[in-house]
Amino acid sequence: MPLARLQTQDDFDGWRAAARSLALANIPAEQVSWQVGDDVGDLFAGVTETAIPPAPADAAFSVSRIFVDLAETAILHADPERFALLYTMLLRLRAQPGLIDDQADPQRRRIEEMAKSVRRDIHKMRAFVRFRELVEDDGTPRFVAWFEPEHHIVRANAGFFARRFTTMRWSILTPEATIHWDGDTLTEGPAAIKADAPDGDPIEEVWKTYYASTFNPARLKTGTMIKEMPKKYWKNMPETALVPGLIAGAQNRESRMIDTARAAPGGNAQMALDALREEAAGCKRCPLWKPATQTVFGEGPADAKLLFIGEQPGDQEDLAGRPFVGPAGQLFDRAMAEAGVDRAQAYVSNAVKHFKFEPRGKRRIHSKPNGGEIEACRWWIEQEREIVKPAVTVALGATAAQSLLGKVVTISRTRGSPIALADGSEGWVTVHPSFLLRIPEEDRRAEEYARFVEDLRRVWDRVGALSG
């Protein structure tokens, strides 16, 4: 029986090399055993191990880039079956490459779900790790955090923390491994236990102060804020210690706090969005980041009940770093005002966060994002939706609809009725404002504009009905 040995739980290169050799030798998935580390364990004791035939150096081997990217993320999932599942999918894709676009295929979907869960875990680690300060023997401070990831994401996340906390010396302890940064080099150590991490310290004060200033007593009364914080992380958050005090003092501070809450609605959802925005600023998931000026992230209240998805930033948005500020944005604002939608209460974002264009002389001409770019960027909009939790999400145009629904749809067929989304909320599809700008005949433009305003009025009514 071929035994494919991987060095670590997140050994994507090892999996890739083994999978390539196995596939070139036509070894069926059910004949392969995947093993992490040297310890063969009881399950395989007595099994005769066959070497994997090395792949010929010049063997042609190609597989969809989308699958490779998906596999690189899904391999970090905690499910021990993932190596076999990915290999099975690889064999199926070699026989039928078009399968990669089949969103209904159960194995493809399982892998997508795994990748999604891993990305969520990566983001949670970034948003919720809290450092406590220790003084080392040489008198210098070291910041130490304890974190319990769900998946094998610690190594994949180490670079983020090194970039974000470059000037600090820090260690993150987890039940799988520890990572350390000395201001220059990342190193790795063995697994830790929670008791290894220190309790309470000054750096928490920074978080506590921030947290208290964004704390919204109205939310506390309904319990919403506590529900929003994943329970799993809640127990490790230093700000938990603040909650009883906040409850006791909430009445007295109410009017002052309500002002603060207005300034930062959404409490910890706002913190999570801020962390996400910061992460997105460095996004290189597809090549569009290179020619663009900057990532244009979503904008609006972290607890908005209505969320709009556009296509991608245009020339002016790319320069301003804000969505929908150019001609399409102005038309959109006018239509929202006519429909009675308060833009300040809506969260507005895009399916693709970088401006895609073709240079023509001094001008930059908008170019439509392709399926791969929409897919690569879906991670951000999904995270935004997950944090904001809108009752209604509106896709403006075909690109946004593809991103929201995970498949290509025809606007005329999907427009006008609610679509049940996987998270239990409601989706709507309508045209993109720039479609209206492009209609040459005045009469038709006015007609389509009126239909668009009517769509907006309708979704705003739905927001009222669902939130009231």
Q: Site residues (CB under 6 A) for ligand URA?
A: 310-314, 317, 323-324, 326, 328-329, 350, 434
Q: How far is the CB of 449 from ligand URA (least distance, A)?
A: 16
Helix (H, G, I), strand (E, B) or coil at 197: coil
Q: What are phi and psi of 161, to 5 degrees?
A: -70, -35
Q: How far is the CB of 240 from ligand URA (least distance, A)?
A: 38
48: tokens are: 């005769």
In the bound complex, which residue of the shown chain has the CB atom lying closest to ligand URA?
310
Q: How far is 295 from 280, CA to CA, in rounded Å?
A: 7
Q: How far is the CB of 338 from ligand URA (least distance, A)?
A: 19
By C-beta, is 12 or 297 nearer to ligand URA?
297
Nearest in space to 102 (alpha carbons), one of 114, 91, 90, 93:
93
Q: How far is 196 from 262, CA to CA, in rounded Å?
A: 40
Helix (H, G, I), strand (E, B) or coil at 8: coil
Q: How far is the CB of 416 from ligand URA (least distance, A)?
A: 20
By C-beta, is 10 or 299 nearer to ligand URA?
299
Sheet bearing 392-396, strands edge to edge: 346-350, 306-310, 392-396, 426-430, 419-420
Q: How far is the CB of 450 from ligand URA (least distance, A)?
A: 21
Residue by residue, DSSP assigns 227-286 as: HHS-HHHHTT-GGGGGHHHHHHHHHHHHHHHHHHHHHSTTTHHHHHHHHHHHHHTT--SS
By C-beta, is 25 or 337 nearer to ligand URA?
337
16: tokens are: 């890739």
By C-beta, is 151 or 354 nearer to ligand URA?
354
Q: How far is 150 from 157, CA to CA, in rounded Å?
A: 13
Q: What are phi and psi of 130, to 5 degrees?
A: -125, 130
By C-beta, is 179 or 456 nearer to ligand URA?
456
Q: How far is the CB of 317 from ligand URA (least distance, A)?
A: 4
Q: How far is 27 from 93, CA to CA, in rounded Å?
A: 15
Q: How far is the CB of 322 from ligand URA (least distance, A)?
A: 8
Q: How far is 445 from 438, CA to CA, in rounded Å?
A: 8
By C-beta, is 265 or 313 nearer to ligand URA?
313
Q: How far is the CB of 432 from ligand URA (least distance, A)?
A: 6
How many Cα atoms sit within 13 Å of 348 on the Cβ side? 22
90: tokens are: 């690889």
By C-beta, is 14 or 313 nearer to ligand URA?
313
Cα dihedral: 161, 165, 170, 171 (round 10): -10
Q: How far is the CB of 427 from ligand URA (least distance, A)?
A: 17
By C-beta, is 206 or 365 nearer to ligand URA?
365
Nearest in space to 188 (alpha carbons), one of 176, 197, 200, 199:
176
By C-beta, is 173 or 309 nearer to ligand URA?
309
By C-beta, is 216 or 312 nearer to ligand URA?
312
Q: Is the dihedral of CA 384, 385, 391, 394 positive or negative?
A: positive
Q: How far is the CB of 452 from ligand URA (least distance, A)?
A: 14
